[in-house]
Amino acid sequence: MQGQARLAAGRTEPGATHLGRSHSLDFLRGLAIAGVMAIHVSQSFPSNIRAVDFTFVCGWVGVNVFYFVSAMTMCLMWTQRASETNPIRKFYIRRFLRIAPLFWIAIPVYLAVNGTGPSYNAPNGIGPLQVILTATFLHGFWPDSVNSVVPGDWSIAAEMTFYLVFPFVITAFGSRRHLYLALAILLHLVNVCLFKPWAFALFSAYYGAGHEAFVWNALHISFLNQLPIFLVGCALFFSLRDGFARSDAAIYAVFVALSFAADRATGSHEFNYLLINLVLGAGVVFCIRFAIRLQPLEALGRNSYSMYLSHFAVIAGLHRIWPLADGLVSLLLAYVVTAGLAYLVARATWHLVERRAQDLAHRLTAPVTKAAPRLDANIAVGRGAGA
């Protein structure tokens, strides 16, 4: 495949050395899960101090950091395995077994915890459609399936859909990072100028008056709105590996200018979101380039997926028994307890679920070794006797 050849022929600059180490990526994952927990803890245990609560709410950017790290990790894994046979099939096996087992366990757990009645994310309640779409990772394509069965599952939908298209994109584009940026720009403009206005009118009419905010939020967290983040992450990977150029800065400037114009013309309110993500991308590059690491965050990062799924249940349980009144002390203690319990759950699920799934993935994707030809019995005996 031409894309594979281009990847294999790519230069290995100092940036590749940093990318080849997992410490900075684990640090970024840990930073991301710390932010995600911060926003959700503050929603249940507010300090009632505006500056503090605002700081905790800013943890929402953790999911976007996950997206950048995911894109870079996928590019790194793909380039390292550029010569293996059946790379697409093996990629899907690894990704599916990394995500699905734990997610499927979370579905009945959260149905039991939260019930199936009407809620903000499911105005008409949860039925078989929402459960089936969630279990098949298609919930990101229907508004009342997102975040209704499993809290925070919108990011899982985006991740799995990205995994679906990633092998074809990287095979077609190879290491030509400008193509990733061009596609990111195109999809961003299609989303804000065409898809989002059309889908907002369609789903607002479907769900009826009073649900406009719900529809708007569902479209904001949709895969089409998140895909440019993943594509920028791929471009940043190859920029780190092969070196940045002035043309990169020019393309990002064009991206910002076109997004600003589209936002003014349509009122999509996605321009600020794009700027925030570009700043986050720069921060991710900084951490990798300078090999930033911190062991406690790296430990969280290595267990971030299970912590992401479990911390919602931990917060819900704590909220029912929490003895302290809202305030700064309550918020800080709740955060520490949530992080600690979610980490313990993650360690348990690693041994019970994730390690077994990864072992299975390894067995299914390991290269097939041909058995050595058997020696003739007489020859074997003769060699043994003469030894």
Each residue of 32-41: pLDDT tens digit? 999 999 999 9
Task: Report the C-alpha gap between 194 and 50 in whole angstroms.
Answer: 37
Q: What is the pLDDT of residue 20?
A: 53
- pLDDT: which is higher, 259 or 379: 259
CB 254 within 8 A of CB 41: no
Q: Given this model, what pLDDT does residue 370 score?
A: 57
**Residue 18: which pLDDT band, with cuts at 50, 70 and 90?**
low
Is residue 186 domain-resident?
A: yes
Contacts of 163 (CB under 8 A, 6+ apart): 74, 91, 92, 95, 99
Instruction: Identify whether 378 is part of a domain.
Output: no
Q: What average pLDDT does range 105-113 have in this prediction? A: 96
Average pLDDT of the residues in 5-10: 47
Is 154 among the domain residues?
Answer: yes
Rounded to an integer, what distance in angstroms lies between the CA atom of residue 196 and that of residue 192? 6
pLDDT at 212 over 80: yes
Please report whether residue 240 resides in a domain: yes
Residue 117 located in a structural domain:
yes
Residue 83 confidence (pLDDT): 85
Tens digit of each residue's pLDDT (9 = 90 or more) over 259-270: 999 999 998 889
Res 369: pLDDT? 64
How far is CA 304 from its chain centroid? 11
What pLDDT does residue 7 have? 56
Q: What is the pLDDT of residue 268?
A: 83
The band of 359, judged by pLDDT with boundaries at 50, 70 and 90, is: very high
Token pair for 217 = 């939020």
This prediction's pTM: 0.90
Average pLDDT over residues 288-309: 96
For residue 267, what pLDDT is reported?
84
Compute the average pLDDT of residues 4-21. 49
Q: What's residue 22's pLDDT?
A: 72
In a domain, 384, yes or no: no
Looking at residues 298-308, what average pLDDT do you find?
97
Residue 124 has pLDDT above 80, yes or no: yes
pLDDT value at 45 more than 90: yes
The tokens of 312 are what? Answer: 């919602």
In a domain, residue 339? The reply is yes
* 386 belongs to a structural domain: no
Supply the mean pLDDT for the chain. 91
Per-residue three-class SS string for 84-152: CCCHHHHHHHHHHHHHHHHHHHHHHHHHHHHCCCCCCCCCCCCCHHHHHHHHCCCHHHCHHHCCCCCCC
Distance CA 100, CA 113 (A): 20
Give 12's pLDDT tier (boundaries 50, 70, 90).
very low
SS3 track for 327-387: CHHHHHHHHHHHHHHHHHHHHHHHHHHHHHHHHHHHHHHCCCCCCCCCCCHHHHHHHHHHC
The phi-psi region of residue 208 (left if phi > 0; otherwise alpha if psi is between -120 and 50; otherwise beta) is left
Q: Which domain holds residue 183?
A: 2-358
Strand, helix or coil for residue 271: helix
Return d(Cα 45, Cα 32) in angstroms, integer.
20
Write the CB contacts of 252 (distance below 8 Å, at least 6 apart in sequence): 181, 278
Domains contained in the chain, number: 1
